[in-house]
Amino acid sequence: MLVLDTTLRDGEQTPGVSLTPEQKLSIAKALDELGVDIIEAGSAITSEGEQEGIKAITSEGLKAEIASYSRIMKSDIDTAIKCGVDCIFLVAPTSDLHIKYKLGTNRDKLLEKTLESIEYCKQHDLVVDLCCEDGSRTEVAFLRKLLDSASEYHIDRFTIADTVGIMTPEKIELIYSELAKTSRVCLGVHCHDDLGLATANTLSAVLNGAEAVDVTINGLGERAGNAPLEEVIMALKLAYGRETKIKTEKLSHVSNLVEKLCGIPVPPNKAIVGENAFTHEAGIHVDGILKKPETYEVIKPELVGRKRSFVLGKHVGLKSIKKALDEMELKVDDKKLGEIFRKVKYEGDKGKKITSTDLEYIAKTIMGEEIKHVLNLEELVAVAGNKITPTASVKMTVNGNEIVESAVGNGPVDAAIKAIRNATRGIPFELVEYHVDSVSGGTDAVVQVTIELKSKDKIVKASGTGGDIVLASVDAMIAGINAVARKLG
């Protein structure tokens, strides 16, 4: 089974995504380490920046085969050759709709031009992956003719693209089982997710003879995107027992990198790589998981580089709270536990996500323990605007000592956080995550800021809520740093 990743070509065609050559290279390196067989690095003819990116990738000496998308045109192929690629992902539109309306030609001329292009690539010792664009809407007899003729010219792979995402697993079965009967070359499959069937269609192709899957990280791609690498690989492995060279424990890391560099957030409920994919809230589920993880978990989180987590909200169960308190080494009796449980439910009903810092606060208040605040904010000023460098100053007490600090940043939130950072230099921590949710719509929306701080091997989550994003961010930071300080103290 071969895995062709097209995050850097089809994935980059996601509306709003444009990668610099350096960003392309860092994604390519991560894909190589992940173990993909073929990296479609881009479409060389697109622009000079694209050529620079592809050249940077081909110069890196990666293990993966590096391909460029090319139309059946000498100019496209020549430009790809100049970038030093190993393989031409040669795209020929094959449906009558595309041949007639897009190209204004006919099947015979299309076939002739395709074969000429293959011959030209082969004269340059290139691997050729012939991809039938809109192949899923191409008459199977014509696909067969293309496959047979192209095989005479020694193509290496023959890929059928469901360019518009109209296939179903049954229709895919008809096409692949027919072509696989006599094919002498590796069959590939390239699916789009317009009907949410890209993964299912890709799997159907594999079950019916495809040996190469075209996928993208996080399912990025034109319109609704392509078949997601993480889903296809994990389904092949867990549901069908088919192995690939993918080092699955790196999936989460690569997904995060692509999310960050492409700027397209992964939905929280996305399979395998979504924030919630290994997060449990409901009391019944958490109880089951604590007794035996398999009760509600079919994928071991570590297998894809993730960690299991529990969140506390309105569906919380007593056992989740008990477990979280145990982890904080807070011992409570059953009566107090009941009170804490009711308070968490009450906050959860209001839609609040209860972080570990919130729980600690709730528990200690109910237990009548004094909560030690290392940090107290006295004053905060943050200014931003046109023709002004965003600046913030804070006056706070740290362990009883008054400290005044200021900082500039790329916005008022950044400046305020940096000012707090300056005032708390003695406390070792790193801000690993900062996230804003708008609780209600409109410009007067209430926002919830969630942050994650890392200090040594401890992770602390804290949140701040309010109508002022700067204050909510500062509140979250101060709650988080106080929690860090308590853990260290």
Phi/psi of residue 124, nearest 5 degrees: -100, 20
User: Judged by CB, which is closer to Mn ion: 10, or 230?
Assistant: 10
User: Judged by CB, which is closer to Mn ion: 134, or 230?
Assistant: 134
Stretch that binds Mn ion, among 10-18, 205-213, 319-327, 438-446 (CB under 5 A): 10-18
Stretch that binds Mn ion, among 3-11, 130-138, 399-407, 411-419 (CB under 5 A): 3-11
User: Judged by CB, which is closer to Mn ion: 10, or 360?
Assistant: 10
From the number of C-beta atoms within 10 Å of its C-beta (0-12, 13-18, 19+), residue 95 rates as buried
**Binding map of Mn ion across residues 384-413, x = CB under 5 A, - = no contact:** ------------------------------
User: Judged by CB, which is closer to Mn ion: 10, or 347?
Assistant: 10
User: Judged by CB, which is closer to Mn ion: 221, or 317?
Assistant: 221
Number of residues in contact with Mn ion, rule: CB under 5 A? 1
User: Judged by CB, which is closer to Mn ion: 10, or 32?
Assistant: 10
Work out how close the CB of 222 gets to Mn ion at its nearest, in angstroms, rounded to a whole number: 6
User: Judged by CB, which is closer to Mn ion: 7, or 473?
Assistant: 7
User: Judged by CB, which is closer to Mn ion: 191, or 462?
Assistant: 191
Spatial separation of the C-alpha atoms in residues 274 and 267, rounded to whole Å? 6
Q: Which amino acid is at 445?
A: A
Work out how close the CB of 214 gets to Mn ion at its nearest, in angstroms, rounded to a whole number: 8
Stretch that binds Mn ion, among 2-10, 259-267, 390-398, 475-483 (CB under 5 A): 2-10
Find where tokens 């179903």 sit.
168
What is the CB-side half-sphere exposure of residue 382 using CA atoms within 13 A?
Answer: 21
10 binds Mn ion (CB under 5 A): yes
Work out how close the CB of 119 gets to Mn ion at its nearest, in angstroms, rounded to a whole number: 25
Q: Which residue is nearest to Mn ion (CB)?
A: 10
Work out how close the CB of 380 gets to Mn ion at its nearest, in angstroms, rounded to a whole number: 49
Work out how close the CB of 132 gets to Mn ion at its nearest, in angstroms, rounded to a whole number: 12
Work out how close the CB of 9 gets to Mn ion at its nearest, in angstroms, rounded to a whole number: 8
Given a contact cutoff of 8 angstroms between Cβ atoms, the answer to whether 471 and 364 are in contact is no
Stretch that binds Mn ion, among 6-14, 33-41, 62-70, 299-307 (CB under 5 A): 6-14
Work out how close the CB of 131 gets to Mn ion at its nearest, in angstroms, rounded to a whole number: 9
From the number of C-beta atoms within 10 Å of its C-beta (0-12, 13-18, 19+), residue 237 rates as middle
Q: Which amino acid is at 157?
A: R
Work out how close the CB of 192 gets to Mn ion at its nearest, in angstroms, rounded to a whole number: 6
Residue 413 to residues 37, 385, 423, 470: CA-CA distances in angstroms?
43, 13, 16, 5
User: Judged by CB, which is closer to Mn ion: 45, or 325?
Assistant: 45
Work out how close the CB of 49 gets to Mn ion at its nearest, in angstroms, rounded to a whole number: 21
Work out how close the CB of 200 gets to Mn ion at its nearest, in angstroms, rounded to a whole number: 17
User: Judged by CB, which is closer to Mn ion: 193, or 414?
Assistant: 193
| Contacts to Mn ion by CB under 5 A | 10
